[in-house]
Amino acid sequence: MNQHPTALVSKKAEIGENVSIGAFSIIEDDVIIGDGCIIDTHVSIKSGTRLGKNIKIFHGSAIGGPPQDLKYAGEKTELFVGDNTILREFVDLNRGTVAHGKTEIGKNCLFMAYAHAAHDCTVGDNVILANGAQMGGHVEIGDWAIIGGMACIHQFCRIGEQVMMGACFKATQDIMPYTLAAGYPLQCMGVNAIGLKRRGFTQATINSLKTVFRILISKKYTTPEAVKKIEDEIEMIPEVDRVLEFIKSSKRGVTK
């Protein structure tokens, strides 16, 4: 371990091999840091934090702090961050509450400066939160989603996989997988076609999804009517089935 002499690292923390800890950073008890992690200057890593391998945490980040929830009474909870994730300057990640017990950030994610994940959030792999994006408690974000700068996500909302949510917008309902979301109030703007092409989705799949979302966002149908029409008329490829499953399991309703 390469530890700056001004860093404070608890002897009760588990530190992997080839870890670098910068000046004035503080690592508390009951912290696990995997091999190859780089901790920059003035970083705070609180008890209950579990970091995977090859994570980079930049200056001033606050990792694993207690939930900003008045119901929290000091229970032992955790924060997990997956391998190869990058947390830029002043990122703030909170531990879970007893409701879920943990906050989970996936592998290969990028949280840009000042991004925030509140208690009990679940973030998939390869997710990007741009500068200042904010997540309320219990938010779920699927794999490969991209959240624009200064965007806000209401507590208990779900953001589906492969979503692109524009900067400075506010989500108060679930955002369906594979979609673009923007506007005031937030709307489904159609399929995230460019993102899907970049990740190897076929044109046939993208075309099927375009047909599905034209039906879903049409003012001619209620959401149950649109789902029924899709089930009756559209081939149930896995991506279409996933969209319908997401809608049926939504508790806050979906952005249309």
Superfamily of domain 197-248: Udp N-acetylglucosamine O-acyltransferase, C-terminal domain (1.20.1180.10)
What average pLDDT is seen over the chain?
A: 97
pLDDT band of 51, cuts 50, 70, 90:
very high
pLDDT of amino acid 48: 98
Q: Tokens in use for 58? A: 């930049």
pLDDT band of 137, cuts 50, 70, 90:
very high
pLDDT band of 107, cuts 50, 70, 90:
very high
Average the pLDDT over 122-128 and give the result. 98
The string of pLDDT tens digits covering residues 237-252 is 999 999 999 999 999 9
- Whole-angstrom Cα distance, residue 121 to residue 171? 15
- 3-class DSSP state of 210: helix
Taking the whole predicted model, whether its pTM rises above 0.95 is answered as yes
- Whole-angstrom Cα distance, residue 42 to residue 162? 34
Residues 6+ apart with CB under 8 A from 12: 29, 30
The CATH number of domain 2-156, selected from 3.30.2130.10, 1.25.10.10, 2.160.10.10, 2.60.40.10: 2.160.10.10
The string of pLDDT tens digits covering residues 162-214 is 999 999 999 999 999 999 999 999 999 999 999 999 999 999 999 999 999 99
The string of pLDDT tens digits covering residues 200-239 is 999 999 999 999 999 999 999 999 999 999 999 999 999 9
Q: Give the residue range(s) of CATH 2.160.10.10 domains in the chain.
A: 2-156
User: In 34-85, which ranges are E strands?
Assistant: 38-39, 44-45, 49-51, 56-57, 62-65, 78-81
Residue pair 98/77 in contact by the 8 Å Cβ criterion:
yes
pLDDT of amino acid 192: 98
| Catalytically active residues, by annotation | 119-120, 137
Q: Give the residue range(s) of CATH 1.20.1180.10 domains in the chain.
A: 197-248
The string of pLDDT tens digits covering residues 66-87 is 999 999 999 999 999 999 999 9
